[in-house]
């Protein structure tokens, strides 16, 4: 069974919703988000703003997006993530980002589309992983 992001006593939780948990791990210096289920475009955009706030507040240079349990993203959400959100993350100081592919095949198609769009635009520092542990260890080594 794959590891899950650990919330230590020192972690700062920035958002705790049924569809996402965003927290800062001071031990690892990584801002993590764990996605679960379906999110609307409005929810995605609000979470994006909160993640950007946390990046700025913590001075985060490493971010992990755990999308193993996310469901399909609509086209508008995909365009936001691969466009404005990614550009804002880079301009906010994020140097390394890791995303873990979803387990759900249809959600994986959504993330594949985001990955292709980001790659085509040549704007991102996101690296994609099949497992959480590989993504986490990669970020810790940066």
Residue 51 lies in a domain: yes
Residue 1 lies in a domain: no
> Cβ-count burial of 60 within 10 angstroms (0-12 exposed, 13-18 middle, 19+ buried)?
buried
Residue 70 lies in a domain: yes
Q: What is the pLDDT of residue 107?
A: 61
Q: What is the pLDDT of residue 121?
A: 59
Q: What is the pLDDT of residue 88?
A: 92
Residue 76 lies in a domain: yes
Residue 2 lies in a domain: no
Confidence at 40, pLDDT banded by 50, 70, 90: very high
What is the CATH number for 37? Answer: 3.30.750.24
> Under a CB-based contact definition with an 8 Å cutoff, are residues 100 and 131 in contact?
yes
Cα atoms in the 13 Å half-sphere on the side-chain side of 35: 27
Confidence at 1, pLDDT banded by 50, 70, 90: very low
- Per the structure, the count of domains in the chain is 1
Taking only the tens place, the pLDDT of each residue in 130-141 is 899 999 999 999
Taking only the tens place, the pLDDT of each residue in 82-111 is 888 888 998 999 999 999 987 766 566 566
Nearest to 109 by CA among 67, 66, 80: 67
Domain that holds residue 22: 12-140
Residue 35 host element (H or E): strand 30-37
Residue 6 lies in a domain: no
Instruction: Give the chain's mean pLDDT.
Output: 85
């Amino acid at each position: 069974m794959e590891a899950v992001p650990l919330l230590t006593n020192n972690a700062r939780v920035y958002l705790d919703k049924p569809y996402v948990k965003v927290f800062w791990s001071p031990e690892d210096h990584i801002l993590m988000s764990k996605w679960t289920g379906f999110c609307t475009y409005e929810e995605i955009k609000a979470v994006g703003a909160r993640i950007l706030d946390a990046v700025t507040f913590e001075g985060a240079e490493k971010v992990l997006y755990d999308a193993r349990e996310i469901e399909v993203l609509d086209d508008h959400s995909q365009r936001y993530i691969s466009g404005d959100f990614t550009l804002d993350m880079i301009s906010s100081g994020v140097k390394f980002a890791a995303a873990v592919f979803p387990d759900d095949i249809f959600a994986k198609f959504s993330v594949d589309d985001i990955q292709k769009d980001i790659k085509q635009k040549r704007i991102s520092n996101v690296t994609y992983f099949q497992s959480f542990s590989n993504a986490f260890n990669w970020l810790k080594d940066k």
